[in-house]
Amino acid sequence: MRVTDPHGQTDSRIVSDTQTASVFVESRLRIDLALALPEPESGRAEQAHHRPDAAAAQSSIPVGFRLRPGVSLASDGSTWLDVSATSCVQIEPLCLGVMVRGSLDLAVSGRSAVLPTERAGVDVLVSGEIPIALGPSLQLVPGLAIGAGWLRSGPRGRAEGPGASVEVAVDFGGPRIESFVRISWKVAERWALGAGLFALVDPLAHTVDVRDPEALLAGNPILRIGGALELEYRVR
């Protein structure tokens, strides 16, 4: 139906019954009824279309996966190869994740080269980092990770022959604390490249040499400082 008010303004409305029609006519004269008049179905549908969906907002939480190969120098002079994988979920302002790292003593320097000792370990840490935007595609990301690790030491090389001694292996476990800072550069919609520095502390490290009837092994470093490159894939 169409109604023209005393000011000459015309308004049209589709109504479903006579009661709504009478309210619509009177609303041209009373503002309070105009505010209470039901919206057309098309208007409500348009509002519902633009209403944010809470479930969709929750599903858009950014998630990233990072692979980081690197090299570190330990407090006992040894050189290590480190490869870590990290999964991180962005919960503003933090990115919370889990890091798994494998480490191998290259035995080319330090105490492990003198004694000849093989050392390899695995660490699992929970990480928290704060991305700081430096530009549209560049981020500075400091962070901290805490967890636990396992390290196995043994003599490098294996003796052979009838008089060969039994191979010795010594296992160590304990807490790990790592601080790091990295730079991430977004190179595509879901891909980023980066580089960073890290410091890993083993506060309960057995730093003295391990004396065994079958072998003399290098102790474990309490600190490793290194650098790494990284490749990151962002799900969202």
pLDDT digits (tens, 9 = 90+) for 34-82: 444 455 555 554 554 445 444 444 445 788 999 999 999 999 999 999 9
Q: What is the dihedral of CA 228, 93, 100, 125, to 10 degrees?
A: 110
User: What pLDDT was estimated at residue 167?
Assistant: 63
User: Nearest to residue 193, comparing CAs of 61, 60, 69, 62?
Assistant: 69
CA distance 107 to 224: 14
Domains of the chain: 15-51 (no CATH), 61-234 (2.40.160.20)
Distance of CA 181 to the CA centre of its chain: 13
For 221, residues 6+ apart whose C-beta sits below 8 A from its C-beta are: 74, 75, 76, 78, 202, 205, 207
User: What pLDDT was estimated at residue 55?
Assistant: 44
Q: What is the dihedral of CA 154, 160, 162, 165, to 10 degrees?
A: -10
Question: What is the pTM assigned to this prediction?
Answer: 0.70
With a cut of 70, list the residues of the chain below it in pLDDT.
1-13, 15-16, 20-21, 23-60, 158-167
User: Nearest to residue 151, comparing CAs of 169, 167, 172?
Assistant: 172
For 53, residues 6+ apart whose C-beta sits below 8 A from its C-beta are: none
User: What pLDDT was estimated at residue 138?
Assistant: 96
Distances in whole angstroms, Cα of residue 137 to Cα of each of 55, 182, 232: 28, 14, 13
User: What pLDDT was estimated at residue 75?
Assistant: 95
User: What pLDDT was estimated at residue 231?
Assistant: 97
User: What pLDDT was estimated at residue 61?
Assistant: 72
